[in-house]
Amino acid sequence: MEEQQAQAASTPEHLNPPLSAAELDRKRERERLALSRKHVLGQLDSAQNPRHREILQAALADLDARLARLV
C-alpha cells in the first residue's frame, strides 16, 4: 500500500488532468447515489414489514436505474 501511495504522489499532474465541472458533478452524484444505495441495502437487510420491504426494493431499483444512466 505504501508503494502505491508513493507511486501516486510521484505521478505527474499532467497524467491526471483536472476534471471539468460537469465531470465533478457527475462523480459527486454517482458517489451520492452509491451511498444512498448502500443505506437502502442496510435497511432492506433489517426490514421485517413486507410493505416497507416493497418500498425499499422500489427505492433500490430507482437508485440502480439512476446509477446506470450516469455510466
In angstroms, how far is the first alpha carbon of the chain from the final one? 28
Spell out the domain ranges in the chain: 19-70
Mean pLDDT value of segment 38-66: 98
Which pTM value belongs to this model?
0.71
The answer, yes or no, to whether residue 42 has pLDDT greater than 70, is yes
pLDDT at site 15: 74
% of the chain surpassing 70 pLDDT: 80
Instruction: Pick the closest to residue 24 from 63, 70, 68 (CA basis).
Output: 70
Q: What secondary structure does DSSP assign to 8-60, as a single string? A: HHHS-GGGSPPPPHHHHHHHHHHHHHHHHHHHHHHHHHH---HHHHHHHHHHH
